[in-house]
Amino acid sequence: MYSNRQLKKSDAEIICRFPQSEEELFYMFPRSTYPLPPEQLIAAAEERRCPTVVTLENTIVGYGNFINADSGDHCSIENVIVNPVHRRKGVASYLVKSLVEIAFTEFQAKYVRLSCFNHNTAGLLLYKKLGFSPVEIEQRQSHEEKIIAVIHLHLKNKNIHT
């Protein structure tokens, strides 16, 4: 059974091995360079809110956080990554649902926002399955200077009426 806890500095080296390619790291952390240095992950986590690690029997299997968390408004999920050995086993669903629960209960967020690059099909399908809806498409440039789209998605808090 999965559980979650706050990130510890000692977790960073393990999490930095999760992205298996430059493309996977781009999905997780677009401003980083491959391979992701543990110090950069820790520095980013210290600037974010609720850096969350998912574990399974004391093994780190996932990571994510909020780039911002505005009480009473919204929270934005970022840096979602799953241990390659544990992919397609429900870790990402558990992680995103856990962060959504934190957003709605601890921050009384009206909605949760996340962004996904157009070529990250697995991510887009997961977020749709979890109830997120696209609200905006933004043009960006990849590391290879190709034009790509980032799709911004929202999940409304059904317990808050706006």
Summarised one tens digit per residue, pLDDT across range 53-102 is 999 999 999 999 999 999 999 999 999 999 999 999 999 999 999 999 99
Summarised one tens digit per residue, pLDDT across range 2-56 is 999 999 999 999 999 999 999 999 999 998 989 999 999 999 999 999 999 999 9
Residue 57's nearest CA partner among 28, 86, 17 is: 86
Does residue 105 fall inside a structural domain?
Answer: yes
Q: Which domain holds residue 152?
A: 2-156
143 band by pLDDT with thresholds 50, 70 and 90 = confident
Does residue 133 fall inside a structural domain?
Answer: yes
**Angle separating helix axes 121-129 and 91-106, nearest 10 degrees:** 50
pLDDT at 140: 95
pLDDT at 162: 54
Calculate mean pLDDT across residues 110-132: 97
Does residue 75 fall inside a structural domain?
Answer: yes
Neighbouring-strand partners of residue 112? 75, 155
CB 74 within 8 A of CB 102: no
160 band by pLDDT with thresholds 50, 70 and 90 = confident
pLDDT at 134: 98
Does residue 161 fall inside a structural domain?
Answer: no
Query: The domain spanning residue 117 has which CATH number?
Result: 3.40.630.30
Residue 126: alpha-carbon gap to chain centroid: 12
Does residue 131 fall inside a structural domain?
Answer: yes
Query: Taking 90 as the threshold, does the pLDDT of residue 147 lie above it?
Result: yes
Summarised one tens digit per residue, pLDDT across range 108-118 is 999 999 999 99
Cα gap 103→67, rounded to integer Å: 12
The C-alpha torsion from 92 through 143 and 21 to 149, rounded to 10°, is: 30
Cα gap 123→150, rounded to integer Å: 12
Does residue 81 fall inside a structural domain?
Answer: yes
Tokens in use for 11? Answer: 């977790």
Domain count, the chain: 1
Does residue 162 fall inside a structural domain?
Answer: no
pLDDT at 144: 86
